[in-house]
Amino acid sequence: MTAADGIDRITPTVRPGGRAAMRQRWSRLLFLHWPIPAEELRPLIPRGLALDTYAGQAWVGLVPFVVTGARPVFLPSMPGVSSFVEVNVRTYVHHGGRDPGVWFFSLDASSRVAVYVGRALYHLPYRFAEMASDVQGPRVRFRSRRIAPGARPGTCAVEYEPRGAAAPARPGTLEHFLLERYILYAARAGRLYQGRVHHAPYPMQEAAMDGLAEDLIAVAGLARPPRDPLVHYASGVDVEVFALTTLD
Protein backbone atom coordinates (compact mmCIF):
# COMPACT_ATOMS: atom_id res chain seq x y z
CA MET A 1 0.00 0.00 0.00
CA THR A 2 1.20 3.47 -0.91
CA ALA A 3 -0.01 6.36 1.26
CA ALA A 4 -1.66 9.50 -0.04
CA ASP A 5 1.75 11.20 0.12
CA GLY A 6 3.16 8.60 -2.30
CA ILE A 7 5.34 6.83 0.28
CA ASP A 8 5.21 3.03 0.38
CA ARG A 9 4.69 2.08 4.02
CA ILE A 10 4.07 -1.63 3.53
CA THR A 11 7.22 -2.88 1.80
CA PRO A 12 9.42 -1.95 4.83
CA THR A 13 7.31 -4.31 6.97
CA VAL A 14 8.43 -7.27 4.83
CA ARG A 15 11.48 -9.14 6.10
CA PRO A 16 14.59 -8.14 4.14
CA GLY A 17 16.68 -10.82 2.49
CA GLY A 18 19.84 -12.13 4.06
CA ARG A 19 20.85 -13.11 7.54
CA ALA A 20 20.08 -10.95 10.57
CA ALA A 21 22.97 -9.78 12.72
CA MET A 22 21.15 -9.96 16.06
CA ARG A 23 17.99 -11.24 17.67
CA GLN A 24 16.16 -9.87 20.70
CA ARG A 25 12.72 -9.47 22.22
CA TRP A 26 11.10 -6.11 22.93
CA SER A 27 8.49 -6.10 25.70
CA ARG A 28 6.35 -3.63 27.67
CA LEU A 29 6.54 -1.02 24.92
CA LEU A 30 4.86 2.26 25.78
CA PHE A 31 4.51 4.65 22.84
CA LEU A 32 3.96 8.31 23.78
CA HIS A 33 3.58 10.77 20.89
CA TRP A 34 3.06 14.50 20.60
CA PRO A 35 2.46 16.61 17.47
CA ILE A 36 5.24 19.14 17.04
CA PRO A 37 5.83 21.90 14.49
CA ALA A 38 7.93 20.68 11.60
CA GLU A 39 10.03 23.84 11.68
CA GLU A 40 11.26 22.89 15.18
CA LEU A 41 12.34 19.45 14.00
CA ARG A 42 13.95 20.22 10.63
CA PRO A 43 17.13 21.88 12.00
CA LEU A 44 17.78 18.74 14.06
CA ILE A 45 17.55 16.31 11.13
CA PRO A 46 20.69 15.65 9.04
CA ARG A 47 20.91 16.65 5.40
CA GLY A 48 19.77 13.89 3.11
CA LEU A 49 16.73 13.01 5.23
CA ALA A 50 13.27 14.59 5.11
CA LEU A 51 10.68 14.75 7.86
CA ASP A 52 7.96 12.17 7.51
CA THR A 53 4.53 13.59 8.35
CA TYR A 54 0.97 12.33 8.67
CA ALA A 55 -1.59 14.65 7.05
CA GLY A 56 1.13 17.32 7.16
CA GLN A 57 1.79 16.91 10.90
CA ALA A 58 5.21 15.97 12.34
CA TRP A 59 5.54 13.98 15.56
CA VAL A 60 8.00 13.35 18.37
CA GLY A 61 7.89 10.10 20.32
CA LEU A 62 9.07 8.84 23.71
CA VAL A 63 9.27 5.03 23.89
CA PRO A 64 10.32 3.10 27.03
CA PHE A 65 10.54 -0.69 26.82
CA VAL A 66 12.39 -3.81 27.99
CA VAL A 67 14.86 -5.84 25.91
CA THR A 68 15.46 -9.54 26.60
CA GLY A 69 17.40 -12.22 24.78
CA ALA A 70 19.62 -9.74 22.92
CA ARG A 71 22.40 -11.63 21.20
CA PRO A 72 24.29 -12.03 17.94
CA VAL A 73 22.68 -14.74 15.82
CA PHE A 74 25.66 -17.05 16.30
CA LEU A 75 25.73 -16.82 20.13
CA PRO A 76 23.31 -17.81 22.92
CA SER A 77 21.83 -15.29 25.32
CA MET A 78 24.18 -14.24 28.10
CA PRO A 79 22.89 -13.69 31.67
CA GLY A 80 23.45 -10.14 32.84
CA VAL A 81 24.15 -8.92 29.29
CA SER A 82 21.22 -9.89 27.08
CA SER A 83 18.47 -8.20 29.13
CA PHE A 84 18.15 -4.48 29.83
CA VAL A 85 15.76 -1.53 29.91
CA GLU A 86 15.73 1.17 27.23
CA VAL A 87 14.01 4.45 26.34
CA ASN A 88 14.33 6.48 23.15
CA VAL A 89 13.32 9.89 21.87
CA ARG A 90 12.54 9.87 18.17
CA THR A 91 10.91 11.43 15.17
CA TYR A 92 10.05 10.11 11.72
CA VAL A 93 11.89 10.64 8.47
CA HIS A 94 12.23 9.28 4.95
CA HIS A 95 14.99 9.20 2.36
CA GLY A 96 14.13 10.61 -1.05
CA GLY A 97 10.42 9.88 -0.73
CA ARG A 98 10.93 6.23 0.23
CA ASP A 99 11.97 4.03 3.16
CA PRO A 100 10.01 5.73 5.97
CA GLY A 101 11.93 5.24 9.20
CA VAL A 102 13.06 6.56 12.56
CA TRP A 103 15.55 9.24 13.50
CA PHE A 104 16.68 8.91 17.12
CA PHE A 105 17.59 11.98 19.16
CA SER A 106 18.67 9.76 22.05
CA LEU A 107 18.60 6.18 23.28
CA ASP A 108 19.24 5.41 26.94
CA ALA A 109 19.93 1.84 28.08
CA SER A 110 20.74 0.14 31.36
CA SER A 111 23.40 -2.07 29.75
CA ARG A 112 26.90 -0.74 29.09
CA VAL A 113 27.35 -3.48 26.48
CA ALA A 114 24.22 -2.36 24.63
CA VAL A 115 25.43 1.24 24.75
CA TYR A 116 28.83 0.25 23.33
CA VAL A 117 27.34 -1.91 20.56
CA GLY A 118 24.74 0.70 19.64
CA ARG A 119 27.32 3.46 19.40
CA ALA A 120 30.12 1.47 17.76
CA LEU A 121 28.21 -0.71 15.29
CA TYR A 122 25.05 1.31 14.64
CA HIS A 123 26.30 4.89 15.14
CA LEU A 124 23.34 5.63 17.40
CA PRO A 125 23.44 8.17 20.28
CA TYR A 126 23.16 5.67 23.13
CA ARG A 127 23.73 6.75 26.75
CA PHE A 128 24.10 4.61 29.85
CA ALA A 129 21.41 5.12 32.48
CA GLU A 130 20.14 3.66 35.74
CA MET A 131 16.77 2.24 34.74
CA ALA A 132 13.98 -0.03 35.95
CA SER A 133 10.67 -1.32 34.63
CA ASP A 134 8.60 -2.89 37.41
CA VAL A 135 5.25 -4.66 37.11
CA GLN A 136 2.70 -4.59 39.92
CA GLY A 137 -0.48 -6.35 38.85
CA PRO A 138 -1.64 -4.67 35.64
CA ARG A 139 0.44 -1.52 36.24
CA VAL A 140 3.95 -0.84 34.97
CA ARG A 141 6.29 1.65 36.59
CA PHE A 142 9.23 2.88 34.48
CA ARG A 143 12.06 5.15 35.61
CA SER A 144 15.39 6.21 34.14
CA ARG A 145 18.28 8.49 35.10
CA ARG A 146 21.06 9.06 32.58
CA ILE A 147 24.61 8.67 33.85
CA ALA A 148 27.06 8.69 30.91
CA PRO A 149 28.65 9.39 28.51
CA GLY A 150 28.27 13.11 28.06
CA ALA A 151 27.47 15.90 30.46
CA ARG A 152 23.83 16.48 29.52
CA PRO A 153 21.40 14.92 32.02
CA GLY A 154 18.22 13.09 31.17
CA THR A 155 15.49 11.55 33.30
CA CYS A 156 12.17 9.86 32.69
CA ALA A 157 9.51 8.41 35.00
CA VAL A 158 6.05 7.18 34.10
CA GLU A 159 3.40 4.75 35.30
CA TYR A 160 0.82 3.15 33.04
CA GLU A 161 -1.71 0.37 32.72
CA PRO A 162 -2.50 -1.43 29.44
CA ARG A 163 -6.20 -1.66 28.63
CA GLY A 164 -8.46 -3.20 26.04
CA ALA A 165 -7.98 -5.78 23.34
CA ALA A 166 -4.75 -6.10 21.39
CA ALA A 167 -4.73 -5.84 17.60
CA PRO A 168 -2.30 -4.66 14.90
CA ALA A 169 -2.69 -1.09 13.66
CA ARG A 170 -4.46 -0.83 10.31
CA PRO A 171 -2.35 0.45 7.39
CA GLY A 172 -3.19 4.03 6.55
CA THR A 173 -4.05 5.01 10.12
CA LEU A 174 -2.09 7.37 12.35
CA GLU A 175 -1.37 4.45 14.68
CA HIS A 176 0.25 2.49 11.86
CA PHE A 177 2.28 5.56 10.83
CA LEU A 178 3.62 6.02 14.38
CA LEU A 179 4.19 2.43 15.48
CA GLU A 180 5.02 0.30 12.47
CA ARG A 181 8.57 1.45 11.74
CA TYR A 182 11.16 -1.03 10.49
CA ILE A 183 13.93 1.27 9.25
CA LEU A 184 16.36 3.36 11.30
CA TYR A 185 18.73 6.07 10.16
CA ALA A 186 22.04 7.09 11.68
CA ALA A 187 24.80 9.54 10.82
CA ARG A 188 28.51 9.65 11.51
CA ALA A 189 31.30 11.81 10.13
CA GLY A 190 28.98 13.33 7.56
CA ARG A 191 27.74 9.99 6.21
CA LEU A 192 24.22 8.59 6.42
CA TYR A 193 23.44 4.99 7.29
CA GLN A 194 20.32 2.87 7.17
CA GLY A 195 19.46 -0.12 9.32
CA ARG A 196 16.57 -2.60 9.23
CA VAL A 197 14.65 -4.55 11.83
CA HIS A 198 11.91 -7.09 11.35
CA HIS A 199 9.15 -8.35 13.63
CA ALA A 200 5.47 -9.23 13.58
CA PRO A 201 3.09 -6.25 13.74
CA TYR A 202 2.81 -4.82 17.24
CA PRO A 203 -0.17 -6.17 19.23
CA MET A 204 -1.34 -2.61 19.90
CA GLN A 205 -3.47 -1.73 22.92
CA GLU A 206 -4.70 1.40 24.60
CA ALA A 207 -3.11 2.38 27.92
CA ALA A 208 -3.88 4.74 30.79
CA MET A 209 -0.82 6.80 31.72
CA ASP A 210 -0.12 9.03 34.70
CA GLY A 211 2.81 10.55 36.53
CA LEU A 212 4.88 11.36 33.46
CA ALA A 213 7.96 13.36 34.41
CA GLU A 214 10.74 13.61 31.85
CA ASP A 215 13.28 16.00 30.40
CA LEU A 216 14.67 13.80 27.63
CA ILE A 217 12.69 15.67 24.97
CA ALA A 218 13.96 19.04 26.22
CA VAL A 219 17.53 17.71 26.30
CA ALA A 220 17.07 16.79 22.63
CA GLY A 221 16.44 20.48 21.93
CA LEU A 222 12.66 20.32 21.59
CA ALA A 223 9.81 21.92 23.51
CA ARG A 224 7.34 19.21 24.45
CA PRO A 225 3.78 20.36 23.77
CA PRO A 226 1.70 20.91 26.93
CA ARG A 227 -1.09 18.64 25.73
CA ASP A 228 -1.39 15.00 26.78
CA PRO A 229 0.31 12.56 24.42
CA LEU A 230 -1.24 9.87 22.31
CA VAL A 231 -0.68 6.65 24.28
CA HIS A 232 -0.29 3.16 22.86
CA TYR A 233 1.08 -0.06 24.32
CA ALA A 234 2.41 -3.37 22.95
CA SER A 235 3.12 -6.40 25.11
CA GLY A 236 6.04 -7.60 23.00
CA VAL A 237 7.53 -8.81 19.73
CA ASP A 238 10.49 -10.97 18.70
CA VAL A 239 12.90 -8.89 16.64
CA GLU A 240 15.59 -9.54 14.05
CA VAL A 241 18.15 -6.74 13.68
CA PHE A 242 20.14 -6.39 10.46
CA ALA A 243 23.50 -4.72 9.88
CA LEU A 244 23.80 -1.10 8.80
CA THR A 245 24.26 -0.14 5.18
CA THR A 246 25.74 3.10 3.88
CA LEU A 247 23.50 5.46 1.91
CA ASP A 248 24.97 7.02 -1.23
User: Is 8 inside any structural domain?
Assistant: no
Confidence band of 75 (pLDDT split at 50, 70, 90): confident
For residue 113, give the nearest of 99, 100, 128, 103 by alpha carbon: 128
CATH number reported for the structural domain that contains residue 100 in this entry:
2.40.400.10
The answer to whether 168 and 201 have CB atoms below 8 angstroms apart is yes
Question: For the chain, how many structural domains are there in total?
Answer: 1
Q: What's the whole-number mean pLDDT along residues 168-182? A: 98
Q: What local confidence, expressed as pLDDT, does residue 153 receive?
A: 83
User: Is 2 inside any structural domain?
Assistant: no
Q: How far apart are CA 35 and CA 41, in angstroms?
A: 11
The answer to whether 202 and 237 have CB atoms below 8 angstroms apart is yes
Mean pLDDT across the chain, nearest whole number?
94
Q: What local confidence, expressed as pLDDT, does residue 152 receive?
A: 72
User: Is 7 inside any structural domain?
Assistant: no
Over the stretch 197-223, which tens digit does the pLDDT of each residue have?
999 999 999 999 999 999 999 999 999
Over the stretch 114-167, which tens digit does the pLDDT of each residue have?
999 999 999 999 999 999 999 999 999 999 999 866 657 899 999 999 999 999
> Which domain does 40 fall in, by range?
24-246
User: Is 112 inside any structural domain?
Assistant: yes
The answer to whether 89 and 216 have CB atoms below 8 angstroms apart is yes
Residue type, position 139, single letter: R
C-alpha torsion angle, residues 130, 135, 138, 142 (rounded to 10): 0
Give the Cα-Cα-Cα angle 70, 214, 88 (nearest 5 degrees): 30
User: Is 236 inside any structural domain?
Assistant: yes
H or E element in which residue 210 lies: strand 204-214
User: Is 9 inside any structural domain?
Assistant: no
User: Is 13 inside any structural domain?
Assistant: no
User: Is 115 inside any structural domain?
Assistant: yes
